[in-house]
Structures are given as structure tokens and as C-alpha cells.
Amino acid sequence: MKKIFNKTEFKEYIAIAIGAIIMSLGIGVFLVDAKVVPGGISGIGMAIYYLTDGLIPIGLSAWLLNVPLYIWGVKVLGKRFGIRTFYGFSVNAFFIDFFRGDIPGFGYIRLQDSQTVLNLMENDFLFLILIGAALLGIGLGIVFKYKGTTGGVDIIVAIIHKKYQMKQGMVILILDIAIIVLAGIAIEYKSLPMDKPTFLLVLYALFLGVVSARIVDIIIDGFDYARQAYIVSDKNSEIAQKIMTDLSRGATAIKTRGLYKDIDREMITTIVTLKELGKLTDIIKEIDPDAFVVIHNVHEVLGEGFRRRA
């Protein structure tokens, strides 16, 4: 009988939960009371929270909105939005309310009332928003990296893309802007007490979206911790030997043909860490100052001498 979960899947579910919890911290602790709304279903949950004067917890409303979207997504898109989606948005919704003390029996938690958060709210609002954006981006990046999703807008985007062939990035942008504007209208309508004008909070929300999106990319693709070099030289063999002996890195010879001079030759390619890049360029300059070198970023390298394969 096939196991329900293998070891890899178990680790992925743990990682999705960790990512969803980190997102919950960013939203529930740093963004709600600042009235800076991220896009997505959590943003709609925040708008409902403001309109009901906090009577309907954000996580609960987000979860209730996600369930019909989840059913719709499974119906239209099939198993792509399966158990991981339900698991991801459920964990996220629960912990938003948990950290805010909105879960019965846990009203004493209220991390948003900690001295650190209150001090940031009063004295360093931008840094407060940056922390919220970082937590949101890190959490969402972890969820995506381990094949999860937090549902909501992800499902809507996938369905619209399938039916109307619209670019997903454009759909996300339109939906997020609409949600941010909706939340801004809710804040303005309720005349909530705040030190900053509503339009400024909307601008903060757009800034939040840019920062968190960039962090998501970094988490998924990795930091630019390595560089790949392409080297064309008449002394390829000497350069390759030095790379292997002095840097202990592998090198690969690729047969090429230069169209300008119509000459067949070998091009050397190698991957080094950022720390080794300076030494690599010194080696090339020492052996052949006229060598042609192209260096570009590498987001992720798996294998001996770099990251281990999962």
C-alpha cells in the first residue's frame, strides 16, 4: 500500500506551514493596525475587518472567502489546487487570528500590542511596513518554493488565465490594485482614527506589494551567490588548469566558432562563488590579458561544491 506521505512530502508540508505562519505574522502583527493593506484575499479580509469595526476577524473572513474559491478552482482547474492549497490558506488564516488574539481562549496574545510594534507604529512607520513586507514576502516565497499556495487570488488568476489567456502578472496587478483601493475606501468610509491620509496609506500598500514580490523572487530563485563565466582565449588550456588547481572548481570546454574571424576554438565555462570571482578574473588577466570574458548571475547551483540536491 502506498504511503499517504513520504518523507519529502512531510518536509514540504512543514515548510508550507512555516511559510504560512511567517505570512500571518507580517499581516496580523505589522500591517493590520497600520492600515496598510496587501493584495489578495487577506486584503479583502482586512477591508471587512475595518468595515465591521473588528467584529469579524481577518483570518476567519479570509478563510470563508477562500473556501468557495477553492471549490471553484478544483472544479475548473482540477487537482492542481488540491489539499496543499486548502492546507496553506487554512494555516495562514488561523495564525492571523491567533497572533492577534482573536481565537477564543487566546485573547491574551495580541502581539500587535507589544511595545516594539507600538513603538515602530509611532516613531518608524516605514520600517514597520518594511518588516511586514519582508515577512509577507519570505513566508509566501517559502510556500511557493515547496509547491504550496495560499489560495485566493492565485486561484482567480489561474482561472482567468485559462479562460481568457490574460497574462498572469497583469491579472495579479489589476486584482491587487482593486483590493488595495477597496480597502482604502473602507478606511475612508469608516473614518478610522489614523495619523496619515488614506491616499498615503494606499501608496504604502503599493510599495509593500513591490517589496514583498521581490522578496518572493529571492526566496524562490535564491540570492545571487554564484557567477558563471564564459572565457574565450588563445590560452584556454592554461586558464582551465589554473581554475581546477587554484580554485578547485570544474571547467567545461565548449566547441565554438567565431563568426568574425571564422575560426573554430574552445570556450571555457565555469561557475564560482562571489568570493572566488575576483581570484578568477586575476587568473585570466595574468595568463591572457586579451581574453574575452562574459560573467553573469547564477541564482541556484546544485551539485558538488555548492548546494546539495534535495
SS3 301: coil
SS3 240: helix
Does 280 score more than 90 pLDDT? yes
Does 219 score more than 50 pLDDT? yes
Q: Do 162 and 237 fall within a single domain? A: no
Q: Do 293 and 188 fall within a single domain? A: no
Q: Do 148 and 48 fall within a single domain? A: yes
Domain final residue pick, 165, 190, 221: 221
276 vs 190: which has the higher pLDDT: 276
Q: Do 147 and 216 fall within a single domain? A: yes
Does 139 score more than 60 pLDDT? yes
Q: Quick one: pLDDT at residue 294?
A: 94
Q: Quick one: pLDDT at residue 1?
A: 40
Q: Which domain holds residue 73?
A: 7-221
Under 8 Å CB-to-CB from 293, ≥6 apart: which residues?
229, 230, 231, 232, 281, 284
Q: Quick one: pLDDT at residue 308?
A: 55
Q: Say if 283 falls within a structural domain.
A: yes
SS3 250: coil
Whole-model pTM: value is: 0.75
Q: Do 172 and 96 fall within a single domain? A: yes
Q: Say if 303 falls within a structural domain.
A: no
Does 304 score more than 90 pLDDT? no
Domain final residue pick, 172, 204, 221: 221
What value, to the nearest 5°, has the Cα angle with vertex 14 and ends 129 and 34?
Answer: 15
Q: Do 252 and 215 fall within a single domain? A: no
| Minimum mean pLDDT range among 18-22, 135-139, 210-214, 286-290 | 210-214
CA dist 81 and 71 (Å) reads 9
Q: Band the pLDDT of 49: cuts 50, 70, 90.
A: very high
Strands (DSSP E) contained in the chain are 226-232, 252-258, 263-273, 292-298
Q: Say if 33 falls within a structural domain.
A: yes
Kindly state the percentage of the chain with pLDDT values over 70: 89
Q: Quick one: pLDDT at residue 276?
A: 86
Does 69 score more than 70 pLDDT? yes
Contact yes or no for 156/178 (Cβ under 8 A): no
Q: Which of 24, 28, 7, 12 is nearest to 143 (CA)?
A: 12
Domain final residue pick, 177, 206, 221: 221
Q: Quick one: pLDDT at residue 309?
A: 47
Q: Say if 57 falls within a structural domain.
A: yes
Sheet holding 292-298, edge to edge: 252-258, 263-273, 226-232, 292-298
Q: Do 263 and 136 fall within a single domain? A: no
Q: Do 208 and 114 fall within a single domain? A: yes
CA 25 to chain centre: 15
Contact yes or no for 118/19 (Cβ under 8 A): no
Q: Quick one: pLDDT at residue 193?
A: 66
Which cell numbers in the block locate residue 210?
513591490
Which cell numbers in the block locate residue 160?
482567468
Q: Quick one: pLDDT at residue 16?
A: 92
Does 191 score more than 80 pLDDT? no
Contact yes or no for 49/56 (Cβ under 8 A): yes
Structural domains of the chain, count: 2
80 vs 117: which has the higher pLDDT: 117
Q: Do 27 and 162 fall within a single domain? A: yes
For residue 278, what is the domain's CATH number? 3.30.70.120
Contact yes or no for 58/27 (Cβ under 8 A): yes
Q: Quick one: pLDDT at residue 305?
A: 66
Q: Which of 295, 285, 304 is nearest to 238 (CA)?
A: 285
Q: Do 137 and 259 fall within a single domain? A: no
Q: Do 282 and 206 fall within a single domain? A: no
Q: Do 237 and 166 fall within a single domain? A: no
Give helix 125-145 / helix 7-25 axis angle, nearest 10°.
160
Q: Say if 2 falls within a structural domain.
A: no
Q: Say if 309 falls within a structural domain.
A: no
Q: Say if 176 falls within a structural domain.
A: yes
